[in-house]
Structure 1
């Protein structure tokens, strides 16, 4: 019986590796004291492609970012928080190939977050996630919280454990 499960396991691992991958890029100001920040506010969205991003998607992104930053002990302030969060979203047509005759065309999404210290006006943290955009809006919405959580894995303060 266990011998029959081995090929199924190998196949499931191989298929899961074919899912959309996300590349993360981050940078930090080492002089910033992230544990001193207690509040945040959002700056206006920077929309790279207004024609490909809906207002509903932008709101989902904002909600996902708020959830992640609040699990790190910060609370929302309408304005004048300790830090300001700027989110930039781009969608663009991309292609990949391995030098063979076929080329794979797809939509690529880049979500970048930039955090600024409001007192010093310094740029203290940046992280960008770049990956394939799901064409299905339901799948895109369902995967957004996980994508934002991956971005915040690079944030210097870990999320608080849920009870």
Structure 2
């Protein structure tokens, strides 16, 4: 039973990331920052252990790809990877939830009656609401940056999107894109406490 639970959790994590990356319109991105954090002091980083996305205790192909994408984003901002003495821990997570949309749409129909006074059939409108229920999967991916010395979250970026299907050969590029979209909201560079403009 425990093995089944671990397999299910592993599949849910991998599927959520791959499905989120395949969103046709792109995920909704939000971020939050600790205003008291001194980002000018951060120059190095490493990955938090264990990563939230590797809750089953080992790396997967998907978690490895996300780590690679996050590392590329950090290094492009001047941060140096340092497992021994990082200023920042990078933690990654992904999950999905089943969602339901209920849409009520007014509709009109016509019933026909014969009017003896008018000596013809007349249309009488009847109004009703049509209810449509749509089920879908929503994927969430988040990147947390944690002050390693204080063990305190200083920045988080979250991508939320309706899940879709994707071809295996396109998944890596779309994972890279989803991680890049999250990091577009991270306004700092290594050793600089002055935020750059964010979208």
Q: Which TM-score band (shorter chain)?
A: 0.7 to 0.9
Choose from 158, 173, 178 the match for 1:147.
178
Which residue does 1:119 correspond to in 2?
149
- Provide, for residues 11-49 of structure 1, a one-character-per-residue CA deviation record: whole Å limited to 9, x for no partner: xxxxxxx93331122111112222321110101221398
Higher relative contact order (CA 8 A, sep 6+): 2
Cα displacement (A) at 1:83: 0.5
Unmatched tracts of structure 2, length 5 or more = 1-22, 106-130, 191-199
- Provide the C-alpha distance between the structure 1 equivalents of 2:186 and 2:164, rounded to a whole number of angstroms: 25
Q: How does 1:78-117 map to 2 (within 5 A)?
A: 78-100=83-105, 101-117=131-147
Cα displacement (A) at 1:144: 1.1
- Provide the C-alpha distance between the structure 2 equivalents of 1:145 and 1:56, rounded to a whole number of angstroms: 13
- Provide the C-alpha distance between the structure 2 equivalents of 1:151 and 1:57, rounded to a whole number of angstroms: 17
Q: Secondary structure at the match of 1:134?
A: coil
- Provide the C-alpha distance between the structure 1 equivalents of 2:32 and 2:79, rounded to a whole number of angstroms: 20
Choose from 163, 187, 193 the match for 1:156.
187
Q: Secondary structure at the match of 1:47?
A: helix
Q: How does 1:1-163 map to 2 (within 5 A)?
A: 19-43=24-48, 44-47=50-53, 55-100=60-105, 101-138=131-168, 139-157=170-188
How many residues end up aligned between the 2 structures? Answer: 139
- Provide the C-alpha distance between the structure 2 equivalents of 1:69 and 1:110, rounded to a whole number of angstroms: 20
From the two aligned structures, give the one with the greater strand fraction: 2
Normalised TM-score (structure 1): 0.72
- Provide the C-alpha distance between the structure 2 equivalents of 1:24 and 1:112, rounded to a whole number of angstroms: 10
The answer (yes or no) to whether the contact 1:133–1:140 under 8 Å persists in 2 is no
RMSD: 2.6
Cα displacement (A) at 1:114: 1.3
- Provide, for residues 131-161 of structure 1, a one-character-per-residue CA deviation record: whole Å limited to 9, x for no partner: 12332252433211111111111112169xx
